[in-house]
Structure 1
Amino acid sequence: MRFAIYVTVMAVVTYLIRMVPFTFFRKKIKNRFFRSFLQYIPYAVLSAMTIPAIFYTTHNMWTAAAGTAVAVLLAFFEMPLIVVALAASGAAFLLGLFM
């Protein structure tokens, strides 16, 4: 019974989060500042979810920092995503072997 209540509450919360913007913003947003602000929200949310996971996954701050540094460096040079992911994982693994 508790599980059904939890699922129902989460369904209502998820529905409200998606429905409220459609209810209040019926017209197209014309304010340039607000539109440019809204363009950065997906990146901010993705960063807020990803960065803590990066540093708590390996249980060692140094291996996580090494993997992150390699990923940022390769992403800066516009390498493909698979290369960035594999190189970052490899760097964290290799540093973990030597520690």
Structure 2
Amino acid sequence: MKSGNFWIYLLVMFGVTYLIRVLPFLIFHKKIENKVIRSFLAYIPYTVLGAMTVPAVFYATGSLLTACAGVAAALLAAYRGKGLFTVAVCASLTAFAVGAVLQAAGLS
């Protein structure tokens, strides 16, 4: 990539990112009073995070079985009210253990 192209790409990315963050402030001057719209906007960060994270979880281990075991362990730990770190450790250890068992059994 040429040095000139790099700066053009960088400026375009800056412009797009800046517009996405500034346009809502320029468009909406008043506080949004509609309860439906406010509740919809309140859930957007969780929805986007879920949409980015959930598909990646099933491809992270290279095996659908180990990924499903890790997700099941994470859901169980989260349901029991454990913290984020504990949930992540439980999911990782479960996926690792299932992968080790599958490898020892010659199934992977």
TM-score range, shorter chain: over 0.9
- Does residue 78 of structure 2 align to residue 75 of structure 1? yes
TM-score by length of 2: 0.88
- Alignment-derived partner of residue 95 in structure 1: 98
% identical equivalent positions:
53
Amino acid at match of 1:42: P
Q: Which runs of 4+ in 1 moved over 6 A?
A: none
The CA deviation string for residues 60-90 of structure 1, in whole angstroms up to 9 with x for no partner, is 1111111011101110111122111111000
Larger radius of gyration: 2
- Does residue 65 of structure 2 align to residue 56 of structure 1? no
- Does residue 21 of structure 2 align to residue 18 of structure 1? yes
**CA drift at 1:6:** 1.3
Q: Which structure 2 segments of 5+ residues have no match?
A: 103-108
Amino acid at match of 1:76: Y
Q: Which structure 1 segments of 5+ residues have no match?
A: none
Distance 2:55 2:15 in 1: 28
Root mean square deviation of aligned Cα: 0.8
* 1:34-53 equivalence runs, <5 A: 34-53=37-56
TM-score by length of 1: 0.96
Aligned residues: 99
